[in-house]
A and B are shown apart, each in its own frame.
Chain A
């Protein structure tokens, strides 16, 4: 047990020193080995060092080399999530993804989680209309985690689909095909007290073949082309205007977990569903569809 504490102190010491240094410089940034990540990786990402978004959803960092020390290479699956900070924000999520960690059923509802910076707003120029998604840090297809508030941040549709999803797909398909394990770490990056992450660092490394199959280290931007976002609050406007998105608060979407059909406010069976033992609540139609539900015809 004593050794365990010693190990924790050894791991946290560089983090504490870096925090002190960064605080002294008046510049907050993120350490990939932040609490909850339980990783010895101490590569610091400084927002001021990252280029502004310039049209690509992600950029490679550190030569695309992830930072997983050899002593962390393991062929046993695990997942770890940082505690929320004082502002309710997520920290590092870290996993060793193996087949046994992956889901065996379709994703359930995650609409009850409201990550920091959450706003339900729609824009016609956004794919699927909704500006924000609840973005899994460790994607559902990798860990099977549903409504875990320590694993969900507010991310733009663009960040979710164009930025993070392709990397999740690559890792998921590799693990399924080879049966190997992939160390996988996602660190949301918040500037100062911002409620909306500016982006997320994603790192992955395949263990059994020592990175021959999977190795990357990228930063994904939490932006949406055509829309200005205030990362302090999550508020947004059409570029070059002060026109906010259409707020969407018509009411919850009610899904039937048995029939896999969902009902919107005003539809025929909407009220009946309120007391159904098969009731599953979604916040948006998109969310229901992503969980494998289809909309009722009437």
Chain B
């Protein structure tokens, strides 16, 4: 599966059961990146994307179990523990800001199993610069 997540400068994702931040430019970029392929997320994340039925978005509370190898999975308030070996690509959107955090993205992308394939910079609608990083599993 292909995991998509947004993180702050310390890999934080959530604080007090709420996402750290949001940007419509990221949502648009995620949809473009998926290119019409299935994009899984839970109902909490679905609210970010508006009318999900028109966008190949599948809403499920147990989507990491349902997703297949080619499917995209957008994670915010869930952990990937137990699914690490199923992940072949990670797309990280870096807010380049510090926010409070109590939930983090815990996959170690520096353990030698991952290679940074590409980096892009986006101008957000409310964030000056968002950095997109795409990591591929190399072993």
Q: Which residue numbers of A lie inside 8 Å of B, CB to CB?
A: 58, 60, 64, 165-167, 169-170, 173-174, 176-178, 212-216, 218
Contacts and interface: CB of A to CB of B under 8 A. Distances in A.
Contact of B100 (A170, A173, A174, A178): A170
Contacts of A64: 16
A167 B126 CA distance: 16
B125 interface: yes
A169 B98 contact: yes
Main secondary structure of the interface of B (DSSP, over half): loop
A142 B14 CA distance: 21
Max count, chain B CB within 10 A of own CB: residue among A167, A177, A212: A177
Contacts of B127: 173
B63 to A, nearest CB: 21
B interface bracket (residues with beta carbon within 8 Å of A) = 10 to 19
30 contacts: A58-B100, A60-B16, A64-B16, A165-B98, A166-B8, A166-B98, A167-B99, A167-B100, A169-B97, A169-B98, A169-B99, A170-B20, A170-B21, A170-B100, A173-B22, A173-B23, A173-B97, A173-B126, A173-B127, A174-B21, A174-B22, A177-B22, A177-B24, A177-B125, A177-B126, A214-B18, A215-B16, A215-B18, A216-B15, A216-B16
Contacts of A167: 99-100
B79 to A, nearest CB: 20
Nearest to B20: A170
- Which 9 A-B residue pairs are closest in the complex by CB-CB distance? A177-B126, A176-B126, A166-B98, A170-B99, A64-B16, A166-B100, A173-B21, A166-B99, A169-B97
Contacts of A173: 21-23, 95, 97, 126-127
Interface string B1-23: 00000001000000110101111
A170 B127 CA distance: 11
A253 B24 CA distance: 41
Contacts of B23: 173, 177
A212 B14 CA distance: 13
Nearest to B22: A177
Given A58-B100, A177-B22, A216-B100, A170 B126 contact: no
Contacts of B16: 60, 64, 215-216
Contacts of A214: 18
